Structure 1
Amino acid sequence: MKDYIGYAYAFTIGLGGVFGFLKAGSTSSLVAGLTFGSLAAYGAHRVSNNSKNVGLALIVSVLLLVVMSSRFYKSGKVMPSGVVAILR
């Protein structure tokens, strides 16, 4: 069975990186968004092929939760860190 939620999450992360680049000119947002989005998509692909293979998807998810929660706590801004933390 396909992990459509995982793919949607990966797409959202990658799209967020692209929007961060377009809005603020942040190359680091672009690189991080595309890197984490690609890793999340690969993790979703692995979950789709073998339902017991959730390690990579879980690692990406927890890492983004920790990083974005920390950024939300420091800045108090809901966009984008609060939204990503809530999604995860």
Structure 2
Amino acid sequence: MEYDWVGFGYAALLAYGGIMGYVKAGSVPSLSAGLFFGGLAGLGAYQQSKDPKNIWLSLVASGTLSAIMGMRYYNTRKPMTGIVAGASLLMVGRLGLMMMEKPLGP
């Protein structure tokens, strides 16, 4: 089994961002969202490690975060939101390329 290390790293970045949002600003929503989406991304990376065609959970998590954090970065210009938005957009692109390389059909 080949592990999706990029996906696990992305999940760790999300969890770390949520924890840092809580530590620096006392933001419970940042903590809960970071841990929730980090957990989803980690589960998606695990599923993708088991079956490289199973990218849907990772795609939903990264797509949702790229939209939400992209809008937040546009409005606030805070660095961590920009980092998460950029990383999420890169994950969406990576998953899109994987879909083109390996058709998801039977």
TM category (shorter chain) comes to over 0.9
**Contiguous gaps of at least 5 residues in structure 2:** 89-106
Percent identity at matched positions?
Answer: 41
How big is the shift at 1:76?
Answer: 2.4
Q: Which ranges in structure 1 are unaligned for 5 or more consecutive residues?
A: none
Moved segments of 4+, more than 4 Å: none
Aligned residues: 87
Alignment of structure 1 residues 1-88 onto 2, 5 Å: 1-77=2-78, 79-88=79-88
TM-score by length of 1: 0.95
Q: What TM-score does the superposition give when structure 2 sets the normalisation length?
A: 0.80
> Any idea what the Cα deviations from partners look like across 1:13-45, whole Å, max 9, x if unmatched?
001100100000011111000000000000000
Distance 1:37 1:7 in 2: 9
For 1:35 and 1:76, the matched residues in 2 are separated by: 23
Structure of greater Rg: 2
